[in-house]
Structure 1
Amino acid sequence: MTDTEKLVHREWSAAESTRRITITNPADGQELFAAPVASPAEVDTAVGAARSAAAEWARTAAAERAAAVHRAADAVAARADDLARLTTLEMGKPLGDARGGVDAGVGTLRQYAELGPVHRGRSLNGGFGATDLMVYEPRGVVAAITPWNDPVAVSCGLIGAALVTGNTVVYKPSERTPATGWLLARILSEHLPAGVLNLLLGDGAVGARLVEQPVDVVAHVGACATGRAIARAAAGTRTKVLLENGGNDPLIIDADVDPEWAAAQAALGAFANAGQICVSVERIYVHEAIADPFLAALAARAEALRMGPGLEAGTELAPLVDRRLREHVHGHVEQAVAGGAKLLAGGDVPEGPGAYYPATVLAGCTDDMAVMREETFGPVAPVAVVGTFDEALARAGQGEYGLAATVLTRDLAHAIRASRELPAGTVKVNNVFGGAPGGAAHPRRASGQGYGYGPELLDEMTQTKVVHLGAPPA
C-alpha cells in the first residue's frame, strides 16, 4: 500500500501536501505507515470533481447505477480478507469481528443496489384531465465522513445509499483508519465513472474544510463534538445534515429475568469490540432482587475474557484504538472509584506496549459520575442497583443522549412501557444487539439527526419535487 495517493476524478495521484499522520498498531505500538493529509486545494478539487460529475450520474438510469453498485459489492467481497486485516491493524478489533464488518458492508451495498431502482414515487389525485406526480431526485454532492470503529460497514452504507439515488460522493474516512478507507475507495472506484467517488484523507481540519464547501449533504458518523461543529457550519449554507453521534445507552434489567442470562447480555453489550460501538451498553440499572448474582456473574465474565492482539486467534478483548482513548476510559473509571464506586473486575492499565484495557465492572455507581453521564466508549460496565422498574426507567431516560436503549424483562407491560417512554431512537427488548436487515436508525437529542440506515436513508439522500401534468387545450 502506498501512503501518497489520492483519488479525484477516478485518477490516483500523489498527494500534494507533505503533511502526514502516523498510524500505529494499537496491539504493539509499532508504526504502520504515514497517511497523507489533504491540502485545502485538494479538498476544493475533490468537491469540484464531484460537482462536475453530478449531472451525468443523476441522468444515468437507476438500473445502471444499481448494477455498478452490485459490481462494486462483489469486488469488496473479493477483497474482504484484505480489508478486515487492515481494519484490525489500524484500530485493533479481533480479525473475525473485522471480517464481520466487511461482510455487513457488502450486504448493505447489495441491499441498496436492490432498493435504488424501486425507490419511491407516487401520484396524487387531481382533476380528471391532469396528473400530479411526486418524484424523488438526487440532492447532488454528498460528503461522507465516517468513523474508525466499524469503518467498512458504515462507509458502505452511506456511500451505497448516496450512489444508488444518483448522488456523487466525496469520502473522508477517519484519520485513525485511513488505510482501510483508502483500500475501500480504490475497490469501489474501479466500478464507477470518473468523479462519482472521490477520496480525501486527513484529520479534522480536512473534514472542516470539506463541510465548508458547497456540498448538498453532509453525512457524518462519529463524535458528538464533530457533529455539533458540522451542524453549526451547515446552518449558514442550508446543507442537508445527517448525524449519528455519541450515545450513553442504558440497559435496564428487570427483577424477573435470569441473572446469568442478563450478565451474558450485559457483557456482550459492554465489552464487544472493547466497548467501541456506537450502541454499546454504557450504563446498567439492575433490580435489587437479582443484583448480587447478576454482579457476580458479570464480573466473572469480564475476568474470563481473553485479552490479546486482534490478529491472534482466540482473542476476545482486543486493544482500544489508541492510548489517547485509553486515558479517557481509565479517567472515567478512576473518577467513579474516587466517588465511591466499587471495582469488581478490571480497572487497571496493563503494563507493556499497546493500548489494552481490561473488561471492567463497577458497582455502586451514581448518576452524577462521568461513567454514567458521558460516553466512555471502552470495555466498562458501570452498574447501579434500583428498587423498582419505575426507578430504572426514570434514571435511564436522563441525560442528553438518545441513540439506543435496552430492557431485559419477562413482563410484557414493562417492555411496552420501556418502548414508549425511553427517549431513544432505538429501543431493544431482550437483546442488546441484533435487528432485522435493513432496519432504520433515527438518533435523538445530542446523538444526532436524520435516518442513518435502512430504506429511509434513501429518502434522506433525495429531495422531492411535485410535477403537475395538465392536458393541453383541445
Structure 2
Amino acid sequence: MAVLTSYDPTSYHKVDGGEHIEAIAVGSVEITPIELLPAVINNAKVAQKAWASLPLIERQQYVVKAYQQLVAVQDELATLIGQEMGKDYRRATYEVGGTIQNAPYFASEISDALTTEQIDNRTELQYRPLGVVAVISPWNYPIAMANNLLMPALIAGNSVILKPSELTPLVAELFIKTLNKVLPEHVLQVVQGDKALGQALVAADINMVAFTGSMAAGKNIMANAASGLKRLVMELGGNDPLIVMASANIDSAVRFAVASSFENAGQMCTSTERVYVDERIAAEFEQKVVALASRYRVGAWDAANVNIGPIVNPAQHQKVLEQLQDAKAKGARLLLGSDDYPLPFIHPTVVTGITPDMLLEGEETFGPVVAISHFSDIDAAIGRANNSHYGLAAVVFGGQGAKAVAEQLEAGMVGVNQGAGAGNAPWVGAKQSGFGFHGTAAGHRQFAQVRVMNY
C-alpha cells in the first residue's frame, strides 16, 4: 500500500550545494487508491440513508457527542498542526480548542437553520439532505476549515467524505478517527491523497462539493462537477486590499496592517495583501509599520513567543521570494527584510512602492509581507483596490468618508476601521473568491435541498 508522508516544515533545508531539499518526516498515512473510491462512495450512500432517516435533533446530538471526544486528543491535534504546517502551538491550540468549545453552539445554530418552517396552514418549507457531500479542506487551518464545512453537511443529513490537504494528513486522520468513535459507520469517511484523488472524487457519483482552496482548483472543480450538476460551495482565496485614508487613526491602521499581514505567517485567505495609504500620512505610517513589524519573532512551532512560523513547504517559500524579487526588480523598495531568505522562513518584510504590474499586487502572496503603495486620489485607490479577480475581503481605515469608500469596494466582506467578517455573519467572497458561501442560516441551508410541501 502506498503511503503519504507528512514533513515538518521547520526542518526543510537544502543539501548537496542546494541541489536537493530534505526534511524530517512527521509520519505517514495510507493513500486511498482511486480505484477504491467507488466502494467508499457506495458505503457513504448506504450510510446516508439511515443517517437521513434520523430526526434532525438526533443528528445534532450525535454530532455534539462526537465532538466531545476531541477533548481527549486536543493537545495531540494542536501538536500535529504545528508539526505538519508550522503553526505555533499557541495558535494551533486556539484553533483546536475553539472548534471543540464552539461545537454545541454551532450544531444548534445549524439545526435551527434546517428546521422545517410553516409557511401557512397548508404549506411547509423543508430542508432535506442532498446525499453524499465531498469536503475538500486546506492545510492552513486544517481543523477549523474542515469543521466549517463538514458539520453543516452532517447535521443536514448528508454523509461526508473528507479529502484533506496532502500537507496535513495526520491532523485529518486523527480528527476523523476520533469523531467516528461516536458517529455511525461510514457517515463520515476520510480519503487521503493528492490532487488526482481530489479530482476523481469531484467527478465521482456524489451530490455536492464543499471546498476551500485556490481559485485555480476551484475552476477545475466547477468544470469536473458540471456533468452531474453537483451543488458547490467554494471559498477560493483573496488578494485583500486595505485603504488607509489621511483621516485614519494611524496607530490603529498600523496595528491592523501588520497583524493582518503576518497572522499565520501570512498564510491566511483574509490576510491583508495590498495596502494603499494616503501620501500625506505615508511616511509616518511606514515608519510605524517597520517599527512594529521588527518586533515579530520568527521560529519553530514549539519555540517560545514565536509570532511567525515557517512557510508550509519549499514551493510556497519560493513563490513568496519570486514575488519579492519581481517587485524589487520593478522598482519597489524593501523597508524591512530581504528578497532572498533561506528555507524555511520568510522574516517580517515591508515593501513600499508596489505597482499594478507587480506579482506582489496582482497575486495572493501567502507570506508575512506588508506591501504598500501611496495614493493622492481616493478614487484611484478605490480603483486599484477593486482591480482584481479576487473579492474576498477589504478594509478601510479613516474618519469621515470611510463608510462611503467602503461602500464602493468589491468584496464579499468589508470592514471599516476593523477587520472584515464576523462570527455571526456569513463567510462569503465576491467575484472569483467564492461560489456560494457558508455560515449563518442561509449558508447552512446550502448543504440541503429546499423542498416546498403542500398538504
What TM-score, normalized by structure 2, do the two folds share?
0.94
Shift of 1:467: 1.4
AA partner of residue 44 (structure 1) = P
Quick check: 1:428 aligned with 2:415? yes
- Partners of 2:80 and 2:358 lie apart in 1 by 36
CA contact (8 A) 1:26 1:322 kept: yes
Mapped partners of 1:31, 1:123: distance in 2: 55
Does 1:123 pair with 2:114? Answer: no
Change in CA separation of 1:399 and 1:69 when aligned onto 2, cut-off 3 Å: same
Match of 2:107 among 101, 104, 113: 113
| 1:22 aligned onto 2:5 | yes
* Number of the residue aligned with 2:406: 419
**2:356 is matched with which residue?**
367
Partner of 1:140: 131
Amino acid at match of 2:37: V
In structure 1, what is the equivalent of residue 16 of structure 2? none
Is 2:393–2:420's contact at 8 Å kept on the other side of the alignment? no
Distance 2:327 2:395 in 1: 23
Which residue of 2 is the match for residue 10 of structure 1? none
| Residues 36-83 of structure 1, C-alpha deviations (whole Å, 9 max, x = no match) | 321012222211111111111111011111111111222223322111
2:70 aligns to what? Answer: 76
Aligned to 2:17: none
* Structure 1 contact 400–445 (Cα < 8 Å) conserved: yes
**What amino acid is aligned across from residue 456 of structure 1 in structure 2?**
A
1:334 is aligned to: 325
The amino acid across from 1:82 in the alignment is: E
User: What corresponds to 2:308 in structure 1?
Assistant: 317
Q: Equivalent residues in 2 for 1:195-206 (5 A)?
A: 195-206=186-197
Cα distance in 2 for partners of 1:35, 1:357 equals 29
Aligned to 1:449: 435
Q: Which moved more, 1:306-315 or 1:441-450?
A: 441-450
- List per-residue Cα deviations over 1:306-353 (Å, max 9, x = no partner): 1110111111111110111000001000000000000111124444xx
Structure 1 stretch displaced more, 389-398 or 303-312: 389-398
Q: Match of 1:5?
A: none
Query: Runs of 5+ in structure 1 lacking a partner?
Result: 1-17, 470-474
SS at match of 1:79: helix
311-320 vs 107-116, which deviates more? 107-116
8 A contact 1:120–1:136 mirrored in 2: yes
How far apart are the structure 2 equivalents of 1:430 and 1:80?
Answer: 34
The CA distance in 2 between the partners of 1:75 and 1:56, in whole Å, is: 23
* Poorly superposed stretches of 4+, deviation over 4 Å: none
Report the 3-state secondary structure (helix = DSSP H, G, I; strand = E; otherwise coil) of the residue aligned with 1:232: helix
Indicate if the aligned counterparts of 1:211 and 1:233 stay in contact, CA closer than 8 A: yes
- Please give the per-residue CA displacement for 1:232-278, whole angstroms capped at 9, x wherever unaligned: 01111110011101210001111112323211110001011110001
Aligned-residue CA RMSD (Å): 1.5
SS state of the match for residue 441, structure 1? Answer: coil
The count of corresponding residues between Structure 1 and Structure 2 is 443
C-alpha contact (below 8 Å) 1:35/1:202 kept by paired residues: no
CA contact (8 A) 1:266 1:432 kept: no
* SS in structure 2 at match of 1:194: coil
Q: 1:242 to 1:108 in 2, by over 3 A?
A: farther
TM-score (norm 1): 0.90
- Pairwise CA distance, 1:434: 6.2
1:14 is aligned to none
Question: What SS does structure 2 have at the residue aligned with 1:171?
Answer: strand
> Equivalent residues in 2 for 1:284-363 (5 A)?
284-351=275-342, 354-363=343-352
